Amino acid sequence: MSESAQRIAVFGAGYVGLVTGACFAELGHRVTVRDILPDRIEALRRGEVPIYEPGLAEILARNAERLSFATEVAEAMEEADIVYVAVGTPPTYSGDADLSAVWTVIDELPAVERRIVVAMKSTVPVGTGEKVRHRLAARGLAHVGYVSNPEFTAEGTAVRDFMEPDRIVIGAFDEAAGDVIAALHAGIDAPIVRSDVASAEMIKLAANAALMTRISFINEIANVCEATGADVVKVAEGIGLDRRIGKSFLRAGIGFGGSCFPKDSLALKQLAANSGYHFQVLNAVIEVNELQKRRVIGKLVARLGSLRGKRIALLGLAFKPHTDDTREAPAFVLAGRLLAEGADVVAWDPVAHADGLVGVEQVATVEDAVLAADAVVLVTEWPELAEVDWAAAATSMRTAVFVDGRNMLDPRAMHDAGFRYDAIGRAASNGLT
Ligand code: UDX
């Protein structure tokens, strides 16, 4: 082990914990990833990767020598200098983040005499660090350092996002603890933002809120484009080239989903409300997103009339391409609404499953999904959908109606393929049919 290498215990073997553990091992540190799920730990010990994340299996395998997996706290904590908390913080009924898994980790930390540093990767409300500090002090562990070190990794690009981040945020109560966490990242070329703990906690929530705001903003522009005859794809290109605005997160569609945005928007909304503040912009962002998922139904009804007994093919179940994650996926909301309207729903996805979607038939190929369908909805922009022979698909359908929920395909080409094609906010190009 080189001099700068540290011993790290990562609590939580989910997306965030595994990526964090694997990447720190890649940087030369010794890492033990601990989870309460014995099956998961057993699988990891056998070299199996329980989640689909590009590059993760390779980086875990490459660093196997520096990585171990444990179910016992004591085993994970053996000689650990740093403890990363990467457990889930799902929303409760009130919209607040459920921190019970975080508190379990904190309360189970052994009463070590050495000076360890606890680093928080889980997304937590502002003020959590302060509470952790008090809770540790009450157990006689005031010498344990605490740092908020939020993650900004997106699924599908998590390993790259970790190794080549736009910035590293380190919020600490004392400089020495912050220095320890900064040193861990040696080898990563990125600006480091050092702050107090509360600000680091807020940076994570605010970054996500800013991204969601951009999506709901462009979705509303799309809806106005539809009503006024403009094309949101052109509009996004035209505004995105303004350096003050930038291009990213301006893809209009059927709304955002995933394990972070929906949960974190509720958590920030609730955090503000608990402090007596009504976060108006964020409330609108959430509401626009809910409505956006449902607008597809209106487009289908405009083409088909009643949806009762109509066969609707959903292409894509994952909340975005290159992941099997269906948490808060728009496809699930859409499927539920379609079933409620009396439609028959058939779905295709190259990796994600329609688990829990009672009444939805999942098929293995796009061709099977569209066969004899009354309409197709492109829900997730999987690259393979660009390669489909759409003209052949159109002839195999009962009625060739297509709603492109991600503005993925070329409106003219789809029209020429024989479809009555609608997209999101593309009135100018949709004048074709
Ligand atoms: C997001 C953040 O990007 C990441 O920094 C944070 O740590 C966790 O949440 P992720 O949920 O993996 O990551 O996916 P992301 O690629 O950001 O997409 C989120 C959702 O927004 C998806 O449903 C996607 O389809 C949607 N989206 C994204 C749009 O609708 N339009 C866009 O322009 C961009």
Atom of ligand 1 nearest to the CA of 214: 33
- Distance, CA of 348 to CA of 354 (rounded, Å): 9
pLDDT for the residue 96: 85
- 409 phi-psi bin (left φ>0, alpha ψ -120 to 50, beta other): beta
Residue whose C-alpha is closest to residue 122's, from 223, 12, 26: 12
Atom of ligand 1 nearest to the CA of 261: 9
- Distance, CA of 223 to CA of 365 (rounded, Å): 31
pLDDT for the residue 94: 85
Helix (H), strand (E) at residue 422: strand 420-422
In 10 A of CB 285, how many CB atoms? 26
| pTM for the whole structure | 0.94
- Distance, CA of 87 to CA of 60 (rounded, Å): 19
- Atom 9 in ligand 1: which residue has the minimum CA distance? 260
- Residue 59, amino acid: I
Ligand 1 mean position, distance from CA 346 (Å)? 25
Give the bridge partners for 9, in sequence order: 32, 83
Atom of ligand 1 nearest to the CA of 255: 30
Helix (H), strand (E) at residue 402: strand 401-404
pLDDT for the residue 404: 98
pLDDT for the residue 432: 60
Pocket mutation for ligand 1, best pick of 159, 247, 261 (most atoms within 8 Å of C-beta): 261
Residue whose C-alpha is closest to residue 229's, from 429, 407, 431, 427: 427
pLDDT for the residue 323: 87
pLDDT (tens, 9 = 90+) of the chain, 433 residues, equals 566 899 999 999 999 999 999 999 999 999 999 999 999 999 999 999 988 888 999 999 999 999 999 999 999 999 899 999 999 999 888 888 899 999 999 999 999 999 999 999 999 999 999 999 999 999 999 999 999 999 999 988 999 999 999 999 999 999 999 999 999 999 999 999 999 999 999 999 999 999 999 999 999 999 999 999 999 999 999 999 999 999 999 999 999 999 899 999 999 999 999 999 999 999 999 999 999 999 999 999 999 999 999 999 999 999 999 888 999 999 999 999 999 999 999 999 999 998 888 999 999 999 999 999 999 999 999 999 999 999 999 999 999 999 999 999 999 999 999 999 999 999 876 656 5
pLDDT for the residue 1: 59
- Atom 26 in ligand 1: which residue has the minimum CA distance? 256
- Residue 69, amino acid: F
Tokens of 214: 């951009």
- Distance, CA of 334 to CA of 254 (rounded, Å): 10
Give, rounded to a whole angstrom, the gap between the first and last alpha carbons of the chain.
66
pLDDT for the residue 51: 85
Q: Which residues contact ligand 1 via a Cβ below 6 A?
A: 151-155, 208, 211, 215, 249-251, 253, 256-258, 260-261, 319-320
Give the bridge partners for 32, in sequence order: 9, 68
pLDDT for the residue 3: 67
Q: Is 260 an active-site residue?
A: yes
